[in-house]
Every structure is written in C-alpha cells, then in structure tokens.
C-alpha cells in the first residue's frame, strides 16, 4: 500500500513544524515548504533522523508559479499521491487599524488569504486523483467575531472560513474533504510580541503541539458516519475557542458583540 502524504506550507517553525513532526511520526511522507531555508534544513534533519521521509522546498505562498512548481515536485517525489494539503502559512499583525500602512494590510491579505487560495487551487489536480484527499486550512477563533486591534487579520480568517465552507460543499463530488482548524492565540514567534486587549484578557495558552495534535486527529476519522451524518467542517482547538464557537451559535448578536467588546477592553 502506498504511503500517505502531507504537504505543509509554513512548515519551518511554529504550528507548521510541530504538524510536520506529528505526521512524520505517524509514517507520512511529509512535504515541508517555507521561505526559511535554515528552518527547513533542521526540520528535514530531525525527520530523517527518526526514519521518516521528507521532501522540502523554498516556497513563498504569494507566488503562484512557485506553488505550482513545488506541488509538481512533491507529486513526483511521492509517486503521484497527495492525501492532505495543510495551508498553514500565515502572519499576524496587531495594532490600531488606522496606524498600519496599506502595505501591511495588503501583505496580511496576500499571505493569509491569497496563499490559501493559491495552494488549494494548485493542489486540486493532485487531490482529485488521490482517494479521500483532504485540505486543512488554518483558520482562527478570530473568525467568530471581528477582533479589535486585529481587524485585517480577523478579516483574512473570515475569508478562509468562507472558502473552506464553500469548497467542502463544492468538492464533495471529487471526494475531497475541506476543513478548518480554529485555535485561539498560540505560543509561537507569531504571537511573541503581540499585546492586545483580547490577548491580555484571555492569555496565550495554546502550544503549537496542541494545534498539531488537533490537526492530526481531525484528519484521521474517515468513517462513513463522521463523513456523512456527523460531517464537521470547523474544529475549534482549546477550551476557550470551543466555548466561543459554541456561544456564537446560540447567543444573540448584541450579546456576542458585548462579550467581544469586553474581552478586547474597548
């Protein structure tokens, strides 16, 4: 039986690195891609030392031609199999909306939204020819309600949420499942210097391993009951995210706004 494969963007550090190691430990052939060549080299060394297979490559997710090339290379390395695409690459910039230059807003959208669209589109031919393929998009609890001081980041994650929901419906006919992970704030370089009303209220408690474990678990249950009757698209990670997600389903809009206003100290 051919070995399972996973292609991960933003894999050199943080959530991407933890996820690559998690899947490698489970016997997957890991495709690890990032702009950080040094980080990729150390990741590849760590994976191969454990006896697992890894293919790496430099990838800027905003460069669609580069995305197409890296996916074609991974397809060749794996013998034509792509079980899971994980669109993980992203950035987070915090602060008052009006204080950020337009270039910062555009970069956040280009990476967080454009990178997901580019990766998913370029991967489609390989996903389509792999039975039971899956796409995992890194979303955020910031897509539950727009977050003050994270306006553009939050908007980018709302876009990822919409794309995930639409493609999960659209690509069912191709036997491709599309799902989104919803962590709150995660302890990583991305949040190392972040201080907003919400981060101060809730803290930054999730680890990259928590998210990696959540991704792995979400992709492993392919039973007919789960895929059909109990089909799930969004996967909150951590208790706060789960409570916020659940609360947003049942609370009136005015209450959801008030809670978020209180958390953000605005």
Active site residues: 153
- Number of Cβ within 10 Å of residue 252's Cβ equals 8
How far from chain centre, in Å, is Cα 179?
Answer: 9
Q: Which residue has the tokens 């060549």?
A: 37
Nearest to 244 by CA among 139, 167, 169: 139
- For Cα atoms 167, 182, 125, give the angle at the middle one, nearest 5 degrees: 30
Q: What is the dihedral angle through the alpha carbons of 115, 18, 185, 140, rounded to the nearest 10 degrees? A: 40
The 3 state secondary structure assigned to 106-138 is HHHHHHHHHHHHHHHHHHHHHHHCCCCEEEEEE
């Amino acid at each position: 039986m051919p070995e399972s494969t996973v292609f991960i963007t933003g894999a050199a550090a943080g959530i991407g690195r933890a996820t690559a190691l998690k899947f490698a430990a489970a016997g997957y052939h890991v495709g690890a891609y990032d702009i950080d060549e040094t980080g990729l080299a150390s990741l590849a060394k760590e994976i191969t030392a454990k006896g697992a297979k890894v293919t790496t490559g430099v990838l800027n997710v905003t460069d669609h031609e580069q995305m197409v090339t890296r996916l074609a290379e991974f397809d060749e390395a794996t013998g034509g199999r792509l079980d899971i695409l994980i669109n993980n690459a992203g950035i987070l910039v915090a602060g008052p909306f009006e204080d950020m230059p337009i270039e910062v807003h555009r970069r956040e959208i280009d990476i967080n939204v454009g990178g997901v669209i580019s990766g998913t589109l370029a991967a489609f031919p390989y996903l389509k020819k792999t039975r039971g393929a899956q796409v995992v998009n890194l979303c955020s609890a910031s897509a539950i309600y727009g977050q003050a001081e994270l306006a553009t980041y939050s908007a980018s994650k709302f876009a990822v949420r919409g794309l995930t929901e639409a493609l999960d419906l659209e690509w069912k006919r191709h036997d491709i499942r599309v799902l989104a992970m919803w962590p709150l704030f995660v302890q990583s370089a991305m949040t190392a210097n972040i201080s907003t009303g919400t981060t101060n209220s809730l803290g930054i408690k999730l680890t990259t391993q928590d998210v990696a474990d959540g991704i792995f678990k979400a992709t492993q249950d392919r039973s007919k009951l789960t895929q059909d009757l109990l089909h799930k698209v969004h996967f909150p990670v951590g208790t706060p995210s789960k409570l916020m997600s659940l609360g947003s389903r049942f609370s009136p809009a005015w209450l959801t706004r008030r809670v978020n206003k209180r958390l953000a100290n605005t």
